[in-house]
Amino acid sequence: MSERSKKSMSASRTVKTQQIFPSDTNHHNTLFGGKLMAMIDDVASIAATRHCGRSVVTASTDSVDFLQPIRPGEIVSMVALVTYTGTSSLEVCVKIVAENILEQRKHLAAISFLTFVALDEHNLPVMVPEVVAETEDQVWLNETGKERAKVRKERRSKSKDLHQFFSNNLTI
């Protein structure tokens, strides 16, 4: 059997920067949460694709912690990294920093963890390269990823009854 390939965590690092316009905001005059979630999914999917060199689908979003509001005129920088790999699944962490360039202020606005699954040419889950942490921070992200993956698997198994319930009751 051929050995599983490995890829450094840094190789997946993906950065996206964009301005926030008034059309991106809600009636509190801050960035609409759904808009930020779409931006997160986009940058995270690029990092996941970069890691495995295959098509990926978003399997779930573990969490999005909205820590501080983002205002129009601010610049949002999103950094996405593959932090943990299962067999065919990849965990991606996205850090979102908002910056007011004119006032030279930056703040951590949100953090998110998502799971992607790599698919082969028949759209079936396929093994991904194992992610290799190289720095102290990356080792921490990777090691804490084991516990997040465990919680995710437990949640998925507990959700089976819920999925069955809604599959049988589509009109609710």
Residues that bind ligand COA (CB under 6 A): 57-60, 86-89, 115, 117, 125, 152-153, 156
165: phi then psi, degrees, rounded to nearest 5: -60, -50
Nearer to ligand COA, 70 or 117 (CB): 117
Q: Which helix (H) or strand (E) holds 75?
A: strand 75-85
Smallest separation, CB 132 to ligand COA (Å): 16
CA 100, CA 107: separation in Å to the nearest integer?
9
Q: Which residue is nearest to ligand COA (CB)?
A: 86
CA 160, CA 37: separation in Å to the nearest integer?
25
Smallest separation, CB 172 to ligand COA (Å): 20
Which amino acid is it at 93? Answer: C
Nearer to ligand COA, 88 or 112 (CB): 88
Nearer to ligand COA, 12 or 30 (CB): 12
CA 79, CA 95: separation in Å to the nearest integer?
5
The 8-class DSSP code of residue 25 comes to B
CA 141 from chain center: how many Å?
Answer: 13
Smallest separation, CB 96 to ligand COA (Å): 20
Beta bridge partners of 60: 115
Smallest separation, CB 157 to ligand COA (Å): 10
Smallest separation, CB 33 to ligand COA (Å): 17
Nearer to ligand COA, 146 or 153 (CB): 153
Nearer to ligand COA, 76 or 116 (CB): 116
Instruction: Name the H helices within the chain.
Output: 33-52, 136-168
CA distances from 117 to 26, 55, 114, 169 (A): 32, 8, 10, 27
The 8-class DSSP code of residue 12 comes to G
